[in-house]
Chains A and B, each alone.
Chain A
Amino acid sequence: MSPAGSPLLDVLREPSRMAALRPDHWDRLLREARAAGLLARLESLARRAGCLEALPGRVRDNIRGEQAWVAYHQLRIRRELREVRRALAREETEVPLLLLKGAAYMAAELPSAEGRLLSDLDLLVPRPKLEAVERVLLAHGWESRVEEEYDQRYYREWMHEIPPLVHPRRGVEVDIHHNLLALTGRYRIPAEKLWARARPLESGLLVLSPADMILHSAVHLVVSDELRGGLRDLFDIHQLYLHFTAEEPDFPRLLEERARELGVARPFWYVARAARALLHTPFPAELLDPPGDAPGPLVAALMHRLVTRVLRPRLPEAPRPAVAQWLLFVRSHWVRMPPGLLAAHLARKSWWRLSGRRRAH
């Protein structure tokens, strides 16, 4: 019997369980893992738990099939990064490049990189260098993905990035950010604080500090549409937390302090509670206690239910929890935009959808 009601959650909580699963649990686990984007990661989990040899042949075949996609995409991203650096170097543009999310995990060789499917290249550059970087890339063959003037404004003025760039010969989407959260949003992190703690890698590229990596991933998860990326991002946070705590026993306290310092204690709290509930991430009590600006117990309980319901693994044919996802979708826009702007934006978007205009994002 599956303790979590989901064999995927069972093994994410305790990977060594993979050594002794029944075939029908594996059958379900493969489907849950594939739907959640976590299939290829089972291999590194099994290897680290010392039970890779115990996996049935058919399971290893399916994992290997998925890993072909992972390896292909990781190679594409590595190549794209090299091309971006080459273009900037050619123009002698000295720009510190900070890698975000999947590319960062890959470059820093973190456990969350193993088996992770990444599709875009996300970079953070200092605000004053943004126009120069955009200019250089456009001059070297990258093209802006977004044509509509309205959407261009959406990206530039309201979000925190220039519209995605793609080089037509390679097709990889490059997202250049100057901050991590929408300028109009409720949670604003001053970029200088992130840069102040950024860590350099051997290659000269930078990544966020360990606490900032987790906080970025957590806040991005809560404010994104429908909690897109869902369980996979939650598991990233779980793995990162375990990894950094093993390296630095004082890490939980540093994480809590930094969350307050950046003003993101509340969204992080939602995520921490979800990770604790679904993945049994061993957060200490301080990180699970309501922060100073926590909502009342009713709202808090509702958010917790919504978040965990949407993030739970689902079999492909099971109905999506529609109401839960819609509510979170609205909320995510709320935290990105002031209500008046949000209403106008949603109205415009739904008109476009009805009249068949191509959506930009």
Chain B
Amino acid sequence: MSASLPSSVPGSGGTGLDFRFGPFRVLVQDPLPELLEPFLFLYGEAPLCKGEGIRDFHLRVVPVAGIRRWVRPQVRFLLDGASPFDPFPRSHAFPLMEWGLNYAIAVRAHQYCLLHSAVLERDGKALILPALPGSGKSTLCAALMHRGWRLLSDEFGIVRPDDGLLLPMPRAIPLKNRSIGAIRDFAPDARLGPVYPATRKGDVAHVAPTADSLRRQDEPAEPAWIVFPRFVPGSDCRLEPEVRSRAFVRLSNNAFNYHLLGEVAFTVFTRLVRGCSCHQLRYGDLDQAVRRIEELAA
């Protein structure tokens, strides 16, 4: 990876890294090299913005003051000057920024209904994979993305209340521990970022969004399928229909801002669940799961 940011890159000036993913424009002020290099490796220059503009989030990842600036150096994430988390090692500046950006979206972006789900699209129709512990959502999402599905997001199902459409925000997919190897095997041409050892969630590496996903980040999608995935090692692959009323409850419990949005969320979720074919998927093998979903979408 290159050691420094070329001065010709827009948004790279002394002030900061200025970029956009889907509906959100972000400025990271004074980006450290540990943040910039993985960013450019995974995303290239496509998301970068030029010139003056209105940003949704002003972020900083700054070295911690005092002795931890030099001894086992740490950095802190700041959203408009406020630091919501404990510090991370400086070498983990990039995953910290990604995690912090997700936090900022979850706290502020209530102009949308925010599902905690992966979302992918094929032929104009969107697949929603709600995230639950043990679902293997990110791994499944990364796998599908490498079988021709367009990535909208690995983390947020962004629903626009006015029309019920899902908005893309294609960002790097964080994989943990064994999933890293699983995706390397499943999709040898996947673009994988550096492995960050021993984070709070174990080893983490990021899968870059495909060029197609990044290119079409302004193209919303109509929701068509809701599939609740559950990864059980060694199990067979079973896709079963889910009763709509239960799908509604599971989906609303899983959302970031259902309670906050109240009646608006109720209306949006009702329409969403009614308009989708709802299922639950139990799987132990990634290939089988992907094939089963392909069959569903055919």
- Name A34's contact: one of B80, B111, B261 (CB within 8 Å): B80
Known A-B contacts A23-B52, A72-B260; the reply to A61 vs B82 at CB < 8 A is: no
Closest chain A residue to B109 by CB distance?
A65
Q: Does B14 contact A (CB under 8 A)?
A: no
Q: Does chain B have a CB within 8 A of A140?
A: no
A27 interface neighbour in B54, B81, B109, B110, Cβ under 8 Å: B54
Closest to B55 in A: A27
CA distance A325 to B261 in the complex (A): 36
Q: Is the CB of A23 within 8 A of B58?
A: no
Contact of A316 with B80 in the complex, beta carbons under 8 Å: yes
Q: Is the CB of B58 within 8 A of A61?
A: no
Query: Which B residues lie within 8 Å of A58 (CB)?
Result: 25, 54, 56
Roughly how many angstroms separate A64 CA and B52 CA in the complex, as a whole number?
23
Question: Is B139 among interface residues, defined by CB-CB distance under 8 A?
Answer: no
- Would A23 and B53 be within 8 Å (CB), given that A61-B23, A69-B260, A316-B81 are in contact? yes
Chain A CB within 8 A of B262 CB: yes
Partner of B54, one of A35, A59, A75, A315: A59
A68's nearest neighbour on chain B, judged by CB, is B110
User: Which residues on the A side are within 8 Å of B110 (C-beta)?
Assistant: 64-66, 68-69
Give complex CA distance A66, B110 in Å: 7
How many Å from the CB of A230 to the closest CB on chain B? 16
Question: Contact size class for A?
Answer: 20 to 34
B80 adjacent to A35 (CB under 8 Å): yes
Q: 8 Å CB contacts to B: which residues of A278-317?
A: 315-317
Bound-complex Cα distance A23 to B82 (A): 24
Residue A186 interfacial (CB < 8 Å): no
How many pairs, one residue from A and one from B, have CB atoms within 8 Å of each other in the complex?
Answer: 58
- Contact (A56, B262) CB under 8 Å given A65-B108, A316-B82: no
Q: How large is the interface on B (under 10, 10 to 19, 20 to 34, 35 or more residues)?
A: 20 to 34
- Cross-chain contact B56 with A61 (CB below 8 angstroms): yes
Per the bound structure, the CA–CA distance linking A71 and B54 in Å amounts to 25
B262 touches which one: A23, A66, A75 (CB < 8 A)?
A75
By a CB distance below 8 angstroms, the chain B residues around A34 are: 80
CB closest chain-A residue, reference B105: A65
Mark out the residues of chain B between 154 and 187 whose CB falls within 8 Å of any chain A CB in the assembled complex. Answer: none
Output the least CB separation between A209 and chain B (Å): 34
Say how far B140's CB is from chain A's closest CB, in angstroms: 30
Contact of B111 among A22, A30, A65, A72 (CB under 8 A): A65
23 CB contacts below 8 A, A to B, read A22-B52, A23-B52, A24-B53, A27-B53, A27-B54, A27-B55, A31-B58, A59-B54, A61-B23, A61-B56, A61-B109, A61-B111, A62-B108, A64-B110, A64-B111, A65-B109, A65-B111, A68-B261, A68-B264, A315-B81, A316-B81, A316-B82, A317-B78
Interface residues of A, Cβ cutoff 8 Å to B? 22-24, 26-27, 30-31, 34-35, 56, 58-59, 61-62, 64-66, 68-69, 71-72, 75, 315-317
Add 20 more A-B contacts to A27-B54, A59-B54 (CB < 8 A): A23-B53, A23-B54, A24-B52, A26-B54, A27-B53, A30-B54, A31-B80, A34-B80, A35-B80, A58-B56, A61-B109, A62-B56, A65-B110, A68-B257, A68-B264, A69-B260, A71-B262, A72-B260, A72-B262, A75-B262
